[in-house]
């Protein structure tokens, strides 16, 4: 019976088109539960990339592998998530991988940048990963390579976790995704494998236990299922449908296959017939779908390419405008700062120059005043000396003139007196009359008394020039007393 089961499983796997599934591990007929709704924990550090959670299959059925942040195996690598795909008779799991481009992951909307096509959560540039804050939970204090770009997800299959089949996502690889599938790939890292193994051993993560709402929906780091980095699911993505385990399925198959040799022969023949028929129908349907999908994919790829180019051009224009605005603002700020600094420096220099000029002017003024005062004092002393000398000279000259004049007057007075006194002496005694008592007023000595000042012995030394004969001519007015002498002769006529 074990040989028959292995044969059936092999035939089923061979019947799945190779173009639809790159890798596979197990094949079951029960669809995985819907993706739970949960929040993304904060990125632990720069360089960690987000890997979304998914439903894996184990001995006890589906179990949830929490989403987590992991380090890329190489700079420039991005993660392409695995996905469940329906191959006509069963679901097969397609493993995720690392590569320089994100490939096809079934069109499943895992969220956080994985909206079904490509990845909008970030990109590599110059050896650093830049995070889109609109879909990633990052701490901008520790992580500075961030940007903000709105991501629009396809909500038609919002929480569906598989591609194809009944209720699955109807998506096929695009030309770009087909190209990415043939590039060099790197499988999941050791940390990711350890993370899945730890989840498979956690009973609470079984879908049959948590009913599509796991208590550990995401973690900050791989295999860390406790602590502040653990995030629980808010709710299940859809109502949970109970599924039987693989052990129960095996037991039922063994019960049905146990009876007789006839049944065993019939069973062997029937699967072989169905396998041939199914393979022919599937190959035909696959060829038809492939042609239709290629046409649709080419059209969609062209549309997305045009949209992406338009979006990129618009984003580039926006960034260019923002950069120019930032540069202009920075330039204006620098210009204002430079002008303010220049004005301040100019004002400082002006004040310093004014202070220096004022100080120099004050110094020159004081020096000029001192020189002027000194010159004025010198001139004053010289003028005083000249004036004193001139005054002394004038005083001496005046005194000499006065003395000369006094000596002249004295000599004249003496000559006049002498002349007036001579007639009295020559007059004969017989002419004198007894009435001489009336003749007393004639020889008035009063005028001669004024000439006594000239007879001072001190100035007599200066009177030597008075002996010049020219000065005697000026003494003619002195004989006025001679007129009085006749008056004495007329007195007896009374």
**pLDDT tens track for 414-460:** 877 777 766 544 444 444 444 444 444 444 444 444 434 444 444 44
**pLDDT tens track for 27-69:** 688 999 999 999 999 999 999 999 999 999 999 999 999 999 9
pTM of the model: 0.49
Q: How far apart are CA 230 and CA 234, in angstroms?
A: 13
The token pair that represents 227 in the structure block: 């602590």
The CA-atom distances, in angstroms, between 468 and each of 291, 408, 456, 460, 463 are 169, 10, 20, 15, 10
Q: CA neighbours within 13 Å on the CB side: how many for 210?
A: 29
**pLDDT tens track for 390-399:** 777 787 887 8
Helix (H, G, I), strand (E, B) or coil at 178: helix
Domain segments of the chain: what residues? 2-258
Mark out the alpha helices in 138-260 (DSSP H runs): 175-181, 190-200, 207-210, 246-257
Position 356 confidence tier, pLDDT thresholds 50, 70, 90:
confident
């Amino acid at each position: 019976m074990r040989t028959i089961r292995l044969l059936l499983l092999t035939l089923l796997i061979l019947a799945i088109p190779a173009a639809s599934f790159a890798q596979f591990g197990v094949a079951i007929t029960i669809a995985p539960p819907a993706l739970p709704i949960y929040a993304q924990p904060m990125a632990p550090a720069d360089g960690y990339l987000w890997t979304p959670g998914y439903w894996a299959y184990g001995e006890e059925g589906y179990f949830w592998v929490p989403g987590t942040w992991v380090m890329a195996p190489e700079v420039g690598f991005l993660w392409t998530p695995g996905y469940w795909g329906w191959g006509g008779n069963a679901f097969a799991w397609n493993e995720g991988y690392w590569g320089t481009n994100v490939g096809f992951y079934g069109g499943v909307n895992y969220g956080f940048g994985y909206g079904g096509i490509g990845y909008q959560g970030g990109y590599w540039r110059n050896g650093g990963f830049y995070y889109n804050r609109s879909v990633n939970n990052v701490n901008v204090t520790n992580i500075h390579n961030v940007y903000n770009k709105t991501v629009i997800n396809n909500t038609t299959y919002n929480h569906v976790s598989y591609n194809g089949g009944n209720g699955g996502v109807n998506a096929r690889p695009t030309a770009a995704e087909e190209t990415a599938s043939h590039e060099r790939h790197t499988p999941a890292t050791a940390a990711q494998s350890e993370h899945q193994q730890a989840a498979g051993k956690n009973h609470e993560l079984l879908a049959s236990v948590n009913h599509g709402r796991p208590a550990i929906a995401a973690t900050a780091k791989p295999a860390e299922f406790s602590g502040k980095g653990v995030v629980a699911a808010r709710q299940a993505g859809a109502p949970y449908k109970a599924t039987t385990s693989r052990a129960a399925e095996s037991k039922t198959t063994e019960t049905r296959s146990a009876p007789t040799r006839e049944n065993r022969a019939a069973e062997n023949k029937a699967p072989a017939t169905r396998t041939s028929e199914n393979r022919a129908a599937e190959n035909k349907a696959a060829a038809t779908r492939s042609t239709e999908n290629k046409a649709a994919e080419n059209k969609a790829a062209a549309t997305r390419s045009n949209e992406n180019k338009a979006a990129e051009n618009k984003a580039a224009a926006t960034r260019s405008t923002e950069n120019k605005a930032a540069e202009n603002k920075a330039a204006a700020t620098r210009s204002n700062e430079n002008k303010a600094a220049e004005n301040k420096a100019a004002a400082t220099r002006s004040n310093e120059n004014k202070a220096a000029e004022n100080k120099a002017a004050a110094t020159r003024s004081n020096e000029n005043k001192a020189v002027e005062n000194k010159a004025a004092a010198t001139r004053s002393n010289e003028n005083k000396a000249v004036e004193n000398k001139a005054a002394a000279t004038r005083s001496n000259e005046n005194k000499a003139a006065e003395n000369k004049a006094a000596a002249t007057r004295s000599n004249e007075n003496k000559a006049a007196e002498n002349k007036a006194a001579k007639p009295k002496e020559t007059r004969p005694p017989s002419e004198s009359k007894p009435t001489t008592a009336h003749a007393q007023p004639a020889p008035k000595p009063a005028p001669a008394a004024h000439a006594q000042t000239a007879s001072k012995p001190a100035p007599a030394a200066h009177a030597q020039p008075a002996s010049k004969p020219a000065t005697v001519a000026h003494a003619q007015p002195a004989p006025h007393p001679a007129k009085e002498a006749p008056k004495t002769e007329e007195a007896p006529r009374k």
